[in-house]
């Protein structure tokens, strides 16, 4: 039985969200984020971004999948991935619909190798585009039942790191710092508009 308790899974991964299983012990999944310097097409990004992806669990949380995710980060093969799911020895790798056939073939080779190195087992990998999930005929009942809803409900993929990703951003809004009347406060310097982090030089600390 799956017990979801905001578990720490990896030194590489931040747990963004966890969905507990339903009454039939199905549908549990985790949303993870990680730093990413590789784009979905395996090219290098100019700046560090954040990648968010999902793991749809089967009837238990199999931490061997976390081990393979860590290996994929080291091998720079995680960036195109939107969702992962393992069922009965088959690892389904759902990837970004925009990748080319060449990248898909390269990913297939890497993930087949990774799946074969599952701890104390020999998994196989099957790659499908996120556009193919809705009509998938393989991957087990959990994938066919829940994957499409997960992809639609969560904003998965690679994004530039901005202030919105700062976990304490709500504590440092103008309203939180200066009070709710801040929007009506006259702006004394254009730098206050252009750069919210600007502070006046005459503030004594």
What 3 state SS string does 139-162 have?
A: CCHHHHHHHHHHHHHCCCEEEECC
Indicate if 108 and 176 belong to the same structural domain: no
The answer to whether 95 and 85 are in contact (CB under 8 A) is: no
pLDDT tier at 20 (50, 70, 90 boundaries)? Answer: very high
The conformation of residue 100, written as its DSSP 8-state character, comes to -
Residue 198 lies in a domain: yes
Indicate if 49 and 81 belong to the same structural domain: yes
Residue 79 lies in a domain: yes
Indicate if 68 and 124 belong to the same structural domain: yes
Instruction: Give me the torsion for CA of 51, 57, 62, 68, rounded to 10°.
Output: -30
Q: Write down the H helix ranges in the chain.
A: 64-74, 101-115, 141-153, 174-178, 191-194
pLDDT of residue 199: 47
Arithmetic mean of pLDDT over the chain: 87
Residue 9 lies in a domain: no
pLDDT tier at 181 (50, 70, 90 boundaries)? Answer: low
Which of 91, 90, 66 is CA-nearest to residue 8?
A: 66
The stretch 157-161 carries a mean pLDDT of 94
The answer to whether 7 and 28 are in contact (CB under 8 A) is: no
Helix axes 101-115, 64-74, angle to 10 degrees: 130
Residue 147 lies in a domain: yes
Give the span between the Cα atoms of 41 and 128, in whole angstroms: 15
More confident residue, 4 or 51: 51
Residue 6 lies in a domain: no
pLDDT tier at 13 (50, 70, 90 boundaries)? Answer: very high
Indicate if 181 and 112 belong to the same structural domain: no
More confident residue, 178 or 82: 82
Per the structure, the complete domain to which residue 175 belongs is given by 167-205
More confident residue, 136 or 98: 98
The stretch 170-190 carries a mean pLDDT of 71
More confident residue, 25 or 193: 25
pLDDT of residue 152: 96
Indicate if 198 and 111 belong to the same structural domain: no
Residue 125 host element (H or E) = strand 124-129
How many separate domains does the chain show? 2
Report the share of the chain in percent with pLDDT over 70. Answer: 85
Residue 191 lies in a domain: yes
Residue 11, pLDDT > 80, answer yes
Indicate if 36 and 112 belong to the same structural domain: yes
Indicate if 28 and 82 belong to the same structural domain: yes
Indicate if 107 and 183 belong to the same structural domain: no
- Confidence (pTM): 0.82
Indicate if 138 and 86 belong to the same structural domain: yes
Indicate if 158 and 176 belong to the same structural domain: no
Indicate if 98 and 26 belong to the same structural domain: yes
pLDDT of residue 173: 86
Residue 67 lies in a domain: yes
Indicate if 109 and 173 belong to the same structural domain: no
Residue 25 lies in a domain: yes
């Amino acid at each position: 039985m799956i017990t979801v308790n905001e578990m720490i899974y990896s030194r590489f991964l931040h747990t963004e969200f966890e969905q507990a299983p339903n009454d039939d012990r199905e549908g549990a999944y985790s949303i993870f984020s990680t730093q990413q310097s590789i784009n979905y097409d395996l090219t290098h990004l100019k700046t560090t971004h954040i990648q968010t992806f999902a793991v749809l669990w089967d009837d238990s949380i199999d931490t061997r999948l976390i081990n393979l995710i860590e290996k994929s980060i080291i091998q720079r093969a995680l960036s195109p991935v939107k969702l992962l799911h393992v069922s009965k020895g088959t690892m389904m790798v759902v990837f970004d619909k925009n990748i080319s056939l060449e990248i898909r073939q390269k990913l297939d080779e890497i993930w087949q190798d990774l799946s074969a190195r599952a701890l104390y087992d020999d998994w196989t990998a099957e790659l499908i585009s996120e556009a193919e999930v809705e009509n998938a005929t393989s991957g087990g009942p959990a994938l066919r039942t829940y994957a499409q809803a997960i992809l639609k409900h969560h904003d998965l993929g690679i994004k530039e790191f901005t202030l919105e990703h700062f976990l304490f951003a709500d504590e440092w809004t103008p309203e939180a710092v200066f009070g709710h009347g801040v929007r009506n406060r006259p702006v004394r310097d254009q730098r206050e508009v252009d750069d919210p982090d600007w502070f006046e030089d005459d503030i004594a600390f």
